[in-house]
């Protein structure tokens, strides 16, 4: 196996370990530490949308909706570059829509929920739209 490929695989494994650590910290409401873990995962594998949406979830819990939106935008931008997972894209869009609704930007949030549903007909997204 070429060295470049070996490094890429190792980085993905390290990123997943950091994500797992971030998830555990998030559940314990240790938000600063969770953000650091997700940032580490993004540094190791910047093209994985999940790390951006997990980071956005932390900001949402902290009620930092601008930072949540910015993190979601990072994931959405990655997806729009080309080959993407529509489920992960819809999750990023829905999380951003939820943050917009929290900022009383209802029209923008509802429109984005609609786009998320086009990507993936997920029940949780439908519920978020109903609450908006």
Q: For the chain, which residues make up each domain, given as ranges?
A: 3-131
Give the model's pLDDT for residue 80: 86
Q: Which CATH class is domain 3-131?
A: mainly alpha
Task: Label residue 116 exposed, middle or buried (CB < 10 Å: 0-12, 13-18, 19+).
Answer: buried
Give the model's pLDDT for residue 27: 98
Query: For the residues of 98-116, what is the DSSP string, one character each?
Result: HHHHHTT-HHHHHHHHHHH
pTM (two decimals): 0.90
Give the model's pLDDT for residue 130: 75
Per-residue pLDDT of the chain (132 residues; tens, 9 = 90+): 789 899 999 999 999 999 999 999 999 999 999 999 999 999 999 999 999 999 999 999 999 999 999 999 999 999 988 777 889 999 999 999 999 999 999 999 999 999 999 898 887 887 877 777
């Amino acid at each position: 196996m070429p060295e470049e490929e070996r490094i890429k695989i190792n980085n993905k494994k390290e990123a997943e370990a950091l994500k797992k650590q971030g998830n555990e910290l998030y559940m314990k409401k240790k938000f600063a530490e969770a953000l650091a873990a997700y940032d580490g995962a993004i540094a190791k594998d910047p093209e994985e949308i999940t790390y951006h949406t997990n980071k956005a979830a932390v900001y949402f819990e902290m009620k930092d909706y601008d930072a949540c939106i910015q993190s979601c935008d990072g994931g959405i931008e990655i997806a729009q570059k080309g080959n993407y997972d529509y489920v992960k894209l819809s999750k990023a869009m829905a999380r951003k829509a939820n943050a917009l609704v929290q900022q009383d930007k209802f029209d923008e949030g509802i429109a984005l929920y609609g786009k998320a549903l086009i990507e993936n007909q997920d029940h949780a997204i439908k519920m978020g739209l109903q609450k908006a």
